[in-house]
Amino acid sequence: MSHTDAFFHRRHRQKKVALFVAIAAGIVVLVLGLSSLAVVDGLQRASVIRERVGDAQTALVNRDIAGASLAITDATTELETIESRVRLFGFLRPVPYLGNQVSSLIELVNDGRVSLEVIRTLLDIGVDIESDLQSVGLVEGLASVEHFTELTPEMRKELVFALSRKVPDLERAKARLNQQRLGLETLDGDELFFGLRIVRTELLDQIRRLDDTLNVLIPVLSVLPDMGGFNGAQHYLLLLQNDGELRPTGGFWGTYGVLRVENGEIAEIFTDDVYAVDFPSEGVITAEPPLPMKRYLGIDKWYLRDINWSPDVPASAQRALEAYANETRLPDQQYVTAPRVNFQGVILVNPQLGVELLKLFGDVDTGSVTFTPENFYDVLEFEVEQAFVNKGIETLDRKDVIGEMINALFARLKDANTEQLGDLARMTLQLLDNNDIMLYGVKPEVQRIFEREHWSGDLRINAEHDHMMIVDTNLAALKTDKAITRAYTYSVHTNPAGELIATAQINYDHLGGFDYRTTRYRTYTRVYAPLGSELIRVEGSLLNDRTKNPSGAAGAVDVGQEFGATVFGAFTAVEPGANGQLSFTYKLPDYVKEMVDRGEYVLDIQRQPGVGGVALNLDLDLGKPIMSATPPEVSEFWFNDSYTYTTQAGPFQTFNIQLEIKPTAQ
């Protein structure tokens, strides 16, 4: 072959290669373009889906289940279109960046489908319930009902029992949602195309909202047939806790009440001064109070008002039922105004409930005083401690104003619209989560649900963890807790012998003076520590306050065991305008040391109900380098062997620290 022929042959081959490359590049561009269009089309259809889900939510608010079902059907159709188109480009997953976007979109489509299926499940439940209601006379369906009270007792019962029967379906739906939620949370949003990132965020928000809804529905529907009085009238002992006079369960029980619930309605609510129960029993009741109450409160008999000595709310609630029964059923009593009732449960509420109800339903004017969210506590205290004298009201009638306010609020509750009822449900859940409302059920199956949802204020002590709970008991210090600011500090270090030494410290700042509701602070303070902890020393304990102990002599320290914990207790006092400190130092048991030796440390902190905002400071030096911690420290405390963390104490918090384990020499 001549040079000329070779040249033209080479040029021809190069043209063929160039043509092939151009065609291949064109195909790639076409595929990439089409796949990009698929992503864009998916985003556009996702916007339509979002609108249809919004339409479904609006329909549900109006109790239009058929309209909501139609909207979800439209949303499902759009999603199926996205799914069929996007899956055509699944082969592009190995392609850098674009493949990741397609994979993410496929995953988002799967998660969206599960979310819509769960919504469909909820709607199917609604359809079944409407069918059940039609069988008992509600022909026009729930959309024709403006308020629950419009339903006949038979309809209400059918509605509640139909919902209760669906709890297993709701639990399965929740399990599916949890799985999808975990998948979405592990999907790295930073690597997604901006539009997909928005879809991920919105879908995750939707799943969280559904999950939150199911978190409320499942436990409520599990107990509603019983608690709602659909199996017969239910009576609850209502205990109003005054957190200005802190007691172990959250406050002094100055007011009690009887709540009767029947067919889902509050049929009757009655409140009165707790002394109306206690006074007629004086000289008859023989129960003796715990020794610290004898020492520092000066009482020798144990009545309902002081019965909540245990910080385990179920234990105190059981004692309350026993005390109420004993004090109202003595044969020779006279002038007994407290009704004799067999209770099915106990409801403990803190003043925050009153504040939140006033925010929701507006100010209440009783005719003699106006309650607002801002003045609720102060005005109520003044009325029952001072104003009643000037108004010529008898001592045992001074708390009638509480009943007047409660009756006004419940009258508004009966007239509440759908939006207000939704706000009330969310508010109640928040108060339950914060232990401002606590529930005890006499039936074990009901109580188990309350404890599972952490609505009962029970002591939660894990025998494999470190644990710390501080419990203050105001003993003869009026309502001084409203003037006290607290801070907790919990520290752990290793001593030369390799033992873990813990210190639980409480700082008290007394910001008040002397007046009708404030005096020097007097508290018997307990620390609940891991079982087997050994006391080393206590600093700040007092024999009594300065009026009875002018020399400031140290007081005795009590050591005991209950609820699977070792308990240390001591008395202290703080003068107005001063600050005080009480600390307990003790050796942690061997099992905590063994946990640390395995490379892990878990600490549970439980906050006393009613104590309000308390700063919590942790300083944990476990003698080993820290690998990770949950929650993490702020960055300035990294790269050392101690865990330093400051936060606001919550009802129950767990701190988990992973430690470095050095290999043992062979």
CATH at 365? 3.40.630
Write down the pLDDT at residue 96: 61
Q: Which two tokens stand for residue 344?
A: 């099915």
CB 550 within 8 A of CB 596: no
- From 658, 665, 663, 618, select the one nearest 637 (Cα to Cα): 618
E-state strands within 475-552:
484-494, 500-510, 521-530, 534-539
> In this structure, is residue 460 part of a structural domain?
no
Long-range contacts of 355-363 (CB under 8 A, 24+ apart): 356/427, 356/431, 357/409, 358/409, 360/420, 360/423, 360/424, 360/427, 361/409, 361/412, 361/413, 361/416, 361/420, 362/412
Amino acid at 275: Y
Residue 527 in tokens = 């620390």
- Convert the pLDDT of each residue in 163-208 to its tens digit: 888 888 888 888 877 877 776 666 665 555 545 566 667 667 777 7
Q: Which of 303, 281, 283 is nearest to 293 (CA)?
A: 303
Nearest to 631 by CA among 605, 594, 599, 593: 605
Flag whether 3 is in a domain.
Answer: no
Q: Tell me how far apart the alpha carbons of residues 325 and 319 are, in angstroms, rounded to a whole number.
A: 10
**Distance (Å, whole) CA 530 – CA 249:** 20
Tens-place pLDDT, residues 553-586: 999 999 999 999 999 999 999 999 999 999 999 9
What is the per-residue DSSP string for 463-487?
TTSEEEEEEEEE-S-TTGGGGEEEE
Q: Three-class SS of residue 336? A: coil
Note whether residue 72 is domain-resident.
Answer: yes
In angstroms, the CA 363 to CA 361 distance is 7
Domain co-membership, 436 together with 514 = no
Give 44-66 pLDDT, tens digit per residue.
555 666 676 666 666 666 667 67
Instruction: Domain count for the chain, please give it.
Output: 3
Q: Of 195, 227, 259, which residue constitutes the final position of a domain? A: 227
Between CA 605 and CA 600 the distance in angstroms is 17
What phi, psi does 155 have (nearest 5°)? Answer: -65, -45
Tell which residue, 317, 312, 324, 379, has the closest CA to residue 351: 379
Q: Examine the domain organization and report whether 445 and 508 are in the same domain.
A: no
On whether both 433 and 471 belong to a single domain, the answer is: no
User: Nearest-CA neighbor of 242 among 388, 352, 397, 362?
Assistant: 352
Q: What residues pair up with 522 in beta bridges, in sequence order?
A: 573
Nearest Cα neighbor of 406 from 280, 240, 564 is 240
Q: Tally Cβ neighbours within 10 Å of residue 100.
A: 18
Does a structural domain hold residue 458?
no
**Are 432 and 570 a contacting pair, CB within 8 Å?**
no
* Residue 593 covered by a domain: yes
Alpha-carbon gap, residue 514 to 456, rounded angstroms:
35
Domain end, chosen from 193, 227, 261, is at: 227
Cβ atoms < 10 Å from Cβ of 174: 18
384, 433: one domain: yes
Q: Within this chain, do residues 491 and 442 fall inside the same structural domain, yes or no?
A: no
In the prediction, which pLDDT does 639 show?
74
Torsion angle defined by CA atoms of residues 37, 38, 43 and 45, in that order, rounded to the nearest 10 degrees: 110
CB neighbours (10 Å) of residue 232? 9
Residue pair 629/658 in contact by the 8 Å Cβ criterion: yes
Q: Are residues 537 and 590 in the same domain?
A: yes
Q: Indicate the DSSP class of residue 232.
A: B
Whether residues 333 and 305 share a domain: the answer is yes
Considering the domain architecture, whether residues 495 and 587 belong to the same structural domain is answered as yes
The pLDDT score that the predictor gives to residue 21 is: 43
Residue 213 belongs to a domain = yes
Q: Which two tokens stand for residue 378?
A: 């102060």
Claim to verify: residue 214 and residue 113 sit in the same structural domain:
yes
CB proximity list for 52: less than 8 A, separation 6 or greater = 71, 72, 74, 75, 78
Q: Is residue 344 part of a domain?
A: yes
| Dihedral over Cα of 108, 44, 53, 191: its sign | positive
Q: Which residues contact 570 (CB under 8 A, 6 or more apart)?
A: 524, 525, 538, 540, 541, 555, 556, 557, 558, 582, 584
Distance, CA of 449 to CA of 216 (rounded, Å): 12
- The mean of the pLDDT values for the chain is 85
- Can you list the residues of the chain whose pLDDT is less than 70? 1-50, 52-63, 65, 83, 85-109, 111-112, 133, 136, 138-148, 183-200, 202-203, 332-335, 663-666
133 and 238 co-located in one domain: no
What distance in Å separates the CA atoms of residue 484 and residue 435, rounded to the nearest whole number?
20
**Which structural domain, as residue segments, surrounds residue 571?**
466-659
For the chain, helix (H) and strand (E) counts, in that order, are 16, 20
User: 3-class DSSP state for residue 489?
Assistant: strand
- Whether residue 253 sits in one domain with residue 218: no
Q: Are 310 and 457 in contact (CB under 8 A)?
A: no
Q: Omega into 631 within 30° of 0, i.e. cis?
A: yes
Are 154 and 101 within one domain? yes
pLDDT of residue 40: 52
| Residue 665 domain flag | no
329/442 Cα distance (integer angstroms)? 19
**Can you give the CATH number for the domain in which 553 is found?**
2.60.40
CB-based contacts of 161: which residues, under 8 Å, 6+ apart?
A: 225, 230
Domain boundary among 199, 227, 255: 227
Among 567, 566, 539, residue whose Cα is nearest residue 555: 539
What CA–CA distance (Å, rounded) separates 432 from 441? Answer: 15
What SS3 state is found at 62? coil
Mapped onto helix, strand or coil, the DSSP state of residue 237 is strand
According to DSSP, the β-strands at 437-441 and 345-349 are antiparallel
CA dihedral 614, 615, 619, 625 (to 10 degrees): 100
Asked if 120 and 189 touch (Cβ cutoff 8 Å), the reply is no
